[in-house]
Amino acid sequence: MVKIAKLFGYTLFFILALMYFTPKVALYYFAEMQLKPMSVIINDEKVIDNGFSLSIKDSTITFKAIESAKIQTIDLVFFGLYNKVKIEGVTLASTAASLVPTKVQSIELSYHIFNPFNVSAIAVGDFGEAQAQVSILDKALQVDLQPSKLMNKEYRATLKNLKKTKDGGYEYAKNF
Amino acid sequence: MQKISNSSLLKITSVLLILLVVAKVLSLVVLYLLPSDGVELNVEESYQPKYQRVDFKNMLRSSVKVTPEKKEVIKSGVSITNMILKGLYGTQESGFIIVALKSKPKNTSIIELGENYEGYKLVAIEKQSAIFEKGSTKYTLNLDTAKMAAKKYKKSTRSKAKNNVEVSQKIVSKSDIEHYAKNPKQIWKEISIMEVKEGKKIKGFKVTRIAPNSKMATLGLRKNDLIIKANNVVLKSYRDALNIYSKIKDIDLVQIVVIRNGIEKEIVYEIN
């Protein structure tokens, strides 16, 4: 029993040490390179290694060389068993203003071992509140939106593209 | 007394240290394999001079009139404030400007860098102005084409250029531009535009819908027009199109080239 406890302790220590020493900034650069073929580039950002997490501050996201959004903070926490990406202070480009309100307060993506085949996300902004699920096995995305008054009033054209649900919300589904 | 080497604490510490070293070595291997720099957007910065239209006939007529005799008359003492800078081309090292006196605005003269006009020596050409020198004092003459052009084209006019590109000129009010800049949603309520590709490259932007009786409908664009150029920039990407859109508040002349029924048509908007 003691041996099992010791083994567990050593494993945990090794994982934590590995997490601490992992070159997170270099991993972030690697992730940026994976986004480049999709024409997504993160610019002007400050990348800070916090030991067990990574913070990206004041970034500008460009898609197809067009400035698409400014993000105040992105916090990435990867514990293996529980992983979280928290994005705060998103301002979409004015060119998107015709489709959705441009201010998004927060987006939180999480993945944990107890639900290994799904990634969930919650977003709150001037558009209202949205919950999303990505099924890795089915390669499917499901978004449930509870629109704000502003969204209902000013962005009816966008909402028309979504399917209305019984509870007054909207849903969007896509396979990829 | 128990030996230190036999203590379980030392064994645990040793194992932990070994694990620490292994973790560090692994992280260094990963670091070696990963890129050391991120990806940054590399935009080719190219200076695009302000788009200007120059009455070429005037230039030719006036160039004949620039004679040494005239330069002598100059010495009678014309103030820089009596001059109008109608056009400029070039850099600080070379180029020319088109200038006239306010009393005779149609009598334009082409002055090369280093030449004299009305007793003032042209010493530099900036983006929006020309620098003259008289004695040891330098004078700046700012570009002032808008007022001249506005007088010329009070109504929408149409003409056919030599190369068979139909040209039409329209006046757009600055307040309308500001209104659309503040309410971009309004633009897309009145007009729909989508990219047209040739292979993988964008060929232009097609007008797929234009609301009748809207302000957009008065701008001369029609459904199925393919916009290929704006201010002499070939629209090959969304970025090219958005560059013009983002600067619209500061521009006083917009030229677009569209393909309509297989024929190129140039539409010039005077913003005042």
Measured in angstroms, the CA of A76 and the nearest CA of chain B are apart by 17
Most confident of A21-35, B169-183, B198-212: A21-35
Q: What is the dihedral of CA A34, A39, A43, A49, to 10 degrees?
A: -20
Ordered DSSP codes for A72-113: EEEEEEE-SSEEEEEEEEEEE-GGGTTTS-SEEEEEEEEEET
**Going by DSSP bridges, is the β-strand pair B253-260/B226-230 parallel, antiparallel, or unpaired?**
antiparallel
DSSP helix/strand/coil, B166: strand
Q: Return left, alpha or beta for B75; rule: phi > 0 is left, psi -120 to 50 is alpha, else beta.
A: alpha
Average pLDDT over residues A41-64: 90
Q: Among B115-129, B165-179, B214-228, where is mean pLDDT lowest?
A: B165-179
Q: Do the Cβ atoms of B188 and A23 come within 8 Å? A: no
DSSP helix/strand/coil, A136: coil
**pLDDT band (50, 70, 90) for residue B148:** very low
| A172, A164 contact by CB (below 8 A) | no
CATH class assigned to B56-144: mainly beta
Residue B81: pLDDT over 80: no
User: What gap in Å lies between CA B27 and CA B33, rounded to an integer?
Assistant: 10
- B56-144 and B148-271 have identical folds: no
Q: List pLDDT tens digits, range B173-208.
A: 777 777 776 676 677 778 888 888 888 788 888 888
Q: The tokens 């005799």 sit on which residue?
A: B69
Tokens standing for B189? 């309520």
pLDDT of residue B138: 79
pTM, two decimals, is: 0.56
The partner residue sitting opposite A98, judged by closest CB among B20, B37, B188, is B188
**pLDDT band (50, 70, 90) for residue A85:** very high
pLDDT of residue A171: 92
Distance set, CA B176 to CA B57, B171, B187, B262, B267 (Å): 32, 11, 11, 30, 17
Tokens standing for A64? 């197809």
Q: Range of A55's domain? A: 2-175
Residue B15: pLDDT over 80: yes
DSSP helix/strand/coil, A122: strand
pLDDT of residue A14: 92
- For B243, name the nearest residue in chain A, comparing CA atoms only: A66
Distance set, CA B232 to CA B79, B162, B260 (Å): 35, 18, 18
ipTM of the assembly? 0.75
| A159, A128 contact by CB (below 8 A) | no
Amino acid at B143: L
CATH class assigned to B148-271: mainly beta
User: What gap in Å lies between CA B264 and CA B165, rounded to an integer?
Assistant: 5
| A144, A165 contact by CB (below 8 A) | yes
Contact status of B242 with chain A (Cβ, < 8 Å): yes
Distance set, CA A93 to CA A40, A68, A90, A123, A130 (Å): 14, 5, 10, 18, 20
| B102, B83 contact by CB (below 8 A) | yes
Q: List pLDDT tens digits, range A98-113.
A: 788 989 999 999 998 8
**pLDDT band (50, 70, 90) for residue A140:** very high
Q: How far is CA B44 from the centre of its chain?
A: 14
Instruction: Name the domain count of chain A.
Output: 1
Distance set, CA B163 to CA A2, B167, B264 (Å): 92, 11, 10
The partner residue sitting opposite B27, judged by closest CB among A13, A22, A65, is A22
User: What gap in Å lies between CA A96 and CA B67, rounded to an integer?
Assistant: 57
Name the residue with higher pLDDT: B188 or B65: B188
Q: Do the Cβ atoms of A47 and B38 come within 8 Å? A: yes
- For A66, name the nearest residue in chain B, comparing CA atoms only: B239
pLDDT, mean over chain A: 89
pLDDT of residue B89: 66
Query: What are the residue ranges spanned by the domains of chain B?
Result: 56-144, 148-271
pLDDT of residue B77: 55
| A53, A76 contact by CB (below 8 A) | yes
CB atoms < 10 A from the CB of B136, how many?
A: 5
Average pLDDT over residues A24-39: 90
